[in-house]
Amino acid sequence: MTNVVVSGEQLQEAFREVAAIVDSTVAITAGPRGKTVGINKPYGAPEITKDGYKVMKGIKPEKPLNAVIASIFAQSCSQCNDKVGDGTTTCSILTSNMIMEASKSIAAGNDRVGIKNGIQKAKDVILKEIASMSRTISLEKIDEVAQV
C-alpha cells in the first residue's frame, strides 16, 4: 500500500467521522444501564457484549483513513486498559467528545495550539484536584473494600 499524506479539512473531517462512530457505538455501552452491541467477526458467530473496549477494537471503517484513525482510538483505549485496567469506555467517550468540541472551536476560528494548550492546562488542574482528594488507606480498609 502506498503512503498517503492527508492534512487540513480532509483530516479533520475523517477525525469527526470516526469520533461520531465511536460516540454512537461505544458510548451506548457505558455504565450499568448500557446497551449491548453485536460485533461481527470474520470467523464464527457474532459476539454480543457491553464491553466498550471490545466494541472499540471491533470498529473497522471501510475508508482506509478512517480505519487508521479508528486504530489510533483503539490504541488510546488499550493504553488506558494496560495502565488502569478499566475506564476504556470513558476514555473513548472523552476522546471523541474532545475531538468534536475542538473541531467546533477550530471552525469558530480559534488557534489549534491554543486549544491544545488549554486541554493541557485543564488536564493539569484536574489531576491536581484528584490528587488533593486522595487519601492513604490501611490494609484493613482495602480488605473491607474487597469484601463489598
CB 54 within 8 A of CB 38: no
In this structure, the answer to whether residues 89 and 120 fall within a common structural domain is no
**Residues 114-123: tens digit of each pLDDT:** 999 999 999 9
In this structure, the answer to whether residues 22 and 70 fall within a common structural domain is yes
C-alpha cell at position 20: 461520531
In this structure, the answer to whether residues 68 and 138 fall within a common structural domain is no
What's the pLDDT band for 147 if we cut at 50, 70, 90? low
In this structure, the answer to whether residues 93 and 132 fall within a common structural domain is no
| Residues of the chain above pLDDT 90, percent | 20
Closest CA to 92 of 81, 104, 103: 81
Residue 1 pLDDT more than 60? no
Asked if residue 39 belongs to a domain, the reply is: yes
Asked if residue 3 belongs to a domain, the reply is: no
**Residues 42-74: tens digit of each pLDDT:** 888 888 888 888 888 888 888 888 888 888 888
In this structure, the answer to whether residues 100 and 139 fall within a common structural domain is no
Provide the CATH number for the domain around residue 101: 1.10.560.10
**pTM across the whole model:** 0.75
Half-sphere exposure at residue 33, Cβ-oriented, CA atoms within 13 angstroms: 0
